[in-house]
């Protein structure tokens, strides 16, 4: 009897080991080297600046991810595919503008009043003032986009936009972080020819996009690497790539430039120490995924925390706004400066948040 128990135990251990080491999974992790998070010290010291945010108007729906300002209105895209707008003065309710039947994320108005949208499920869209939806690009070289994320528009109309992952879509975004294969890209679309061009590849979950001063370069958040890449567009460095801001204490999401020397960065979640320790080890991430797939481990959930920073042209922190409790606002995905105020998007709220801009305007 004892021998039978030992045989069964050995078979169980072998089966468990085989499952943990060899069971097929949808990710193929690679080693990712990251520095230890700087934590909430120095320029990132904890504070409660975001506890005083106000709410713009009424409830609009779940997950206002990005915010675009135009003609006295704030526009935002929701989890259900709706793009809605609310008055900046807070009066009245919200108005439904259009539903993309996808998930509208980054958005910005072009010079003609069209709302250009990165829809994670439908591609790069133009929403005309009358609400008509035009698909500008939904594939490259015959391959459909899986996860377009954010954008910025140059003065000549060129649209720079991020393709977060060529492996996984919005609903499986965490798999891209777990895999770390860095298939993200920065793309551009020429509105005259409608040609899509690859500007940079190998980005670790390409996210927020913002053109810099004089459009000399464009910044792209690499969420999976907790850093911001810079791709040069002009001058002797044109075509080159370097790091604008490294080793951030949170995972950067959307990114915006205020036109006055300041970049605003939304950090929806602080760095996860456990994930940072696992990133250099593909084998441990394979085991972790297998345990999660059978319910023995839960997928890590970001803590409730509100966090945005502002960087100057040299990548130095010039503003640091937080809500450590996350009770007022958390999981902030975008921050945009306009007319002396900041406007915040978040996946966890049902309204747009606002706060006076703490950075004074530059002298004339």
The per-residue pLDDT for 20 is 56
The sign of the dihedral angle between the CA atoms of 280, 38, 353, 131 is negative
Domains of the chain: 49-356 (2.120.10.30)
| CA-closest candidate to residue 135, choices 162, 156, 116, 159 | 116
Distances (CA, A) of 150 to 7, 46, 205, 273, 335: 56, 28, 12, 27, 13
**Mean pLDDT calculated for residue range 13-23:** 55
> pLDDT tens-digit profile of 281-335?
999 999 988 998 888 778 888 899 999 999 999 999 999 999 999 999 999 999 9
**d(Cα 78, Cα 212) in Å, to the nearest integer?**
28
pLDDT tens, position by position, 183-229: 999 999 999 999 999 999 999 999 999 999 999 999 999 999 999 99
Verdict on whether the full-model pTM lies above 0.85: yes
Beta-bridge partners for 312: none
> Which SS3 state, helix, strand or coil, does residue 45 take?
coil
* Confidence at residue 295, expressed as pLDDT on a 0 to 100 scale: 84
Q: What is the pLDDT of residues 101-121, one digit of tens each?
A: 999 999 999 999 999 999 999
Q: pLDDT of 125-175, one tens digit each?
A: 999 999 999 999 999 999 999 999 999 999 999 999 999 999 999 999 999
18 pLDDT above the threshold of 70? no
* C-beta of residue 62 within 8 angstroms of C-beta of residue 84: no
Which pLDDT band, with edges at 50, 70 and 90, does 22 fall under?
low
Residue 6 has pLDDT above 80, yes or no: no
What's the mean pLDDT in 239-243? 97
Q: Return the pLDDT at 299.
A: 81
Only one residue has tokens 């951030």, namely 248
Whether 63 has a pLDDT exceeding 90, the answer reads yes
Place of tokens 């990548």: 315
pLDDT band at 21 (very low <50, low <70, confident <90, very high): low
| 278: Cβ contacts below 8 Å, ≥ 6 apart | 284, 285, 288
CA distance linking residue 347 with residue 65, whole number of Å: 6
What average pLDDT does the structure give for the chain?
93
* Residues 286, 75: Cα–Cα separation, whole Å: 41
The residues that bridge with 128 in the sheet, in sequence order, are: none
């Amino acid at each position: 009897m004892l021998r039978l128990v030992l045989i069964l135990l050995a078979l169980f251990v072998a089966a468990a080991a085989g499952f943990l080491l060899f069971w097929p999974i949808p990710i193929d992790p690679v080693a990712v080297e990251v520095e230890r998070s700087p934590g909430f010290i120095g320029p990132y010291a904890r504070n409660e600046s975001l506890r005083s945010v106000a709410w713009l108007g009424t409830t609009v729906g779940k997950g206002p991810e990005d915010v675009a300002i135009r003609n006295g209105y704030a526009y935002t895209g929701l989890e259900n595919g709706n793009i809605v707008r609310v008055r900046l003065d807070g009066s009245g309710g919200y108005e439904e503008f259009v539903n993309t039947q996808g998930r509208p994320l980054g958005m910005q108005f072009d010079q003609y009043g069209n709302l250009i949208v990165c829809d994670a499920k439908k591609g790069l869209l133009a929403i005309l003032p009358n609400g008509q939806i035009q698909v500008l690009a939904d594939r490259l070289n015959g391959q459909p986009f899986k996860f377009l994320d954010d954008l910025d528009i140059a003065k000549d109309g060129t649209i720079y936009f991020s393709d977060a992952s060529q492996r996984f879509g919005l609903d499986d975004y965490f798999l891209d972080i777990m895999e770390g294969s860095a298939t993200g890209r920065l793309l551009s679309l020429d509105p005259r020819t409608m040609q899509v061009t690859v500007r940079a590849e190998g980005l670790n979950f390409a996210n927020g996009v913002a053109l810099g001063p004089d459009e000399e370069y464009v910044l792209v958040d690499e969420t999976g690497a907790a850093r911001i890449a810079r791709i040069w567009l002009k001058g002797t460095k044109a075509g080159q790539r370097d790091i604008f801001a490294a080793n951030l204490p949170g995972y950067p999401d959307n990114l915006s430039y205020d036109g006055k020397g300041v970049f605003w960065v939304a950090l929806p979640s602080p760095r996860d120490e456990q994930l940072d320790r696992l990133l250099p080890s593909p084998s441990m991430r394979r085991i972790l995924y297998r345990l999660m797939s059978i319910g023995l481990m839960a997928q890590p959930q970001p803590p409730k925390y509100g966090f945005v920073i502002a960087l100057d042209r040299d990548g130095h922190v010039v503003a640091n706004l937080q809500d450590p409790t996350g009770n007022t606002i958390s999981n902030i995905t975008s921050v945009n400066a306009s007319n002396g105020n900041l406007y915040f998007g978040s996946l966890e709220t049902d309204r747009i948040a606002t706060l006076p801009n703490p950075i004074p305007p530059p002298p004339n």
